[in-house]
Structure 1
Amino acid sequence: MALAKVVLPLVSLGLLATLFLFARGREYEPSLPFAQVDIEALAREQRIDGPAFSTVTRDGSKLYLSAKTVRPDLSGSSAINSTTITGGLRMPNSGSIDLVADNAVIDGKSKIAELSGQVEIQTSTGYLVSTQRIAAMLDMARIESSGHVNATGPIGTLDAGRMILSQDAQSGAYLLVFKDGVKLIYEPKERGDRQ
């Protein structure tokens, strides 16, 4: 028995030693994937990729915006410059709009997002509005174009000098109003189209 107490631990140590001596070396690959980025470019420019912003306005509407990239305005103001913007506005009465734009300047201090480039607004009432520039308030449901708009909708196509989407102070309803030289081409549905 005394011999077994000495021999068995020595045999187990010998087996463990042979496992370490004859084990094949393994080639280890890095366990963490590294992004292929240009470190120098990241150091030169300040930017955020894929940011999103959402808020509830004073009238209870939900506003959200997302962008491909955001960069600070180098003029020293509180504004940020964004590219490839998507967003929307969900009103409390279940109406909504979706919008896309090429660029935006978002000024948190003045609570305005100015969208530019090719701007498109799709309303839940069936209107598709195209323009070159709009201003969206960040603290209330109000969107206004500063120039010419083209729109197609349930009643036909129209051109106008500008448009405003806002809440009516008396009724509380949200209205899409076209102004300044509105030209409407009325296209009534034919009887066969009605269901």
Structure 2
Amino acid sequence: MTNLILGLCLFLGIHSISIVAEPLRDRFAAKSELAWKALYALISLAGIFLIINGYSQARLTPTLMYATPYWLRHFSALLMLPVFILFLAPYFRGTISNITKNPQLLAVILWALSHLLVNGNLADILLFGSFLVWAVGDLISMERRVSRPLPGLKKSSVNDLIIVIAGLGLYGLFTVYLHGLLIGIPLLN
């Protein structure tokens, strides 16, 4: 559990710099944007490695905190439908990214909520709950911050069609194959 907590602190900590210390982030980036991005990436990757390692270890000796009814699995799957679409939206600017304003944060919120609905072990609550709290906090903080532009395609209504098709394709691929391969828990039994 220690690795999971440390990984969450590293990953969400570096992703929270703009929330809690934006002037510090701006000073680092102004000195050397490449060095800042490299440091950001290294800390993020170390965090991801520790999260995966810690979560895998915690799953070996689960501590059940709550159990949910089986039908919530279907609701959770439905809640996951827009996640891949929203996650791609900032890079394919169109109506979806305009309406949602912060589509990736909404994707993380839906992802975390859907997983909390069906996973009641302590490690699950730490992992998905931490991401949920972070994403909500970041979404709230975005109201007072100037958003930095992300690289992406020029705004077009065709982009919405692209991300809906790509997002649904990724959803299907993840549901049928990748979740079992990467996470070790097949979704279709």
Do they superpose with TM above 0.5? Answer: no
Q: TM-score, normalised by structure 2?
A: 0.19
**Bigger strand share:** 1
**Bigger helix share:** 2
Q: TM-score, normalised by structure 1?
A: 0.18
Larger Rg: 1
Could you say which structure has the greater relative contact order, defined with CA pairs below 8 angstroms and 6 or more residues apart? 2
